[in-house]
Amino acid sequence: MLSVIPAREWTFEISDGAAEPTFIEIGGLDNFGWDRQTASEETDDFSSQGQGASLPMRRASTIALSGHRLEDPDTGDRDPGQEEIETSAELIGAAAVRDFQVTTPGGKVGTFVGWAEMGSTGGGKNNKTGWAATLHINGRIVWDA
């Protein structure tokens, strides 16, 4: 039976960049948004009699992650997943590309190659410190069987 699933049960992980990667869960998340974009090209012409026609020419996806910045108040140690995102987001070109995993609440695992872009970090005087990043997916997500 299909049921509604809580967003909090999804997990997102980044690889450590090693040849045999270890995946590190990104902690502190309280929101995600999975956006899909399509670029199309019009294919209508004079014979279309004013009726539009097009084909999808490019599809792309991003996953926006946001939540709370996590840090040990005694040592300054950061959440390993957040820190790995921040480290990779400073790199340029192919060095910035990493493997990622997303796991659904039902346990289905998707892997993809992509890169991270940092979003806003901060907050007001009575707020928790926020943290945000966007994952840019290169190609398709490959889901396990």
Q: What are phi and psi of 124, to 5 degrees?
A: -90, 180
Laid out side by side, the sheet with 54-68 consists of: 23-25, 11-15, 98-103, 109-118, 130-143, 54-68, 29-42
Question: What mean pLDDT, rounded, does the chain reach?
Answer: 95
Average of per-residue pLDDT across 37-41: 93
Going by pLDDT thresholds of 50, 70 and 90, the confidence category of residue 60 is: very high
